Amino acid sequence: MLTEDEKHLIEHVWEKVLEHQEDFGAEALERMFCVYPSTKTYFPHFDLHHDSEQIRHHGKKVVGALGDAVRHLDNLSATLSELSNLHAYNLRVDPVNFKLLSHCFQVVLGVHLGREYTPQVHVAYDKFLAAVSAVLAEKYR
Amino acid sequence: MSAASAKDPSLVTMVHWTAEEKQLITSLWGKVNVEECGGEALARLLIVYPWTQRFFSAFGNLSSPTAIIGNPKVRAHGKKVLTSFGDAVKNLDNIKATYAKLSELHCDKLHVDPENFSLLGNILIIVLATHFPKEFTPACQAAWQKLVSAVAHALALGYH
Per residue in A23-51, pLDDT (tens digit) is: 999 999 999 999 999 999 999 999 999 99
Which residues of chain B make contact with A112, given a CB cutoff of 8 A?
133
- Dist. CA B153–CA B151, nearest whole Å: 5
Query: How near does any CA of chain A get to the CA of B10, in Å?
Result: 24
- Dist. CA A22–CA A63, nearest whole Å: 7
Kindly indicate the confidence band of residue A99, based on its pLDDT and cuts at 50, 70 and 90: very high
Which residues of chain B make contact with A35, given a CB cutoff of 8 A?
138, 141-142, 145
Q: Which of residues 5-44 of A touch B (CB under 8 A)?
A: 27, 30-31, 34-35
Q: What is the pTM of this model?
A: 0.92
- Chain B CB within 8 Å of residue A141 CB: no
Q: Which amino acid is at A71?
A: R
Neighbours of B79 (CB within 10 A): 19
ipTM of this complex prediction, to 2 decimal places: 0.91
Residue to substitute from A111, A118, A126, interface B, most B β-carbons within 10 A: A111
Per residue in B81-108, pLDDT (tens digit) is: 999 999 999 999 999 999 999 999 999 9
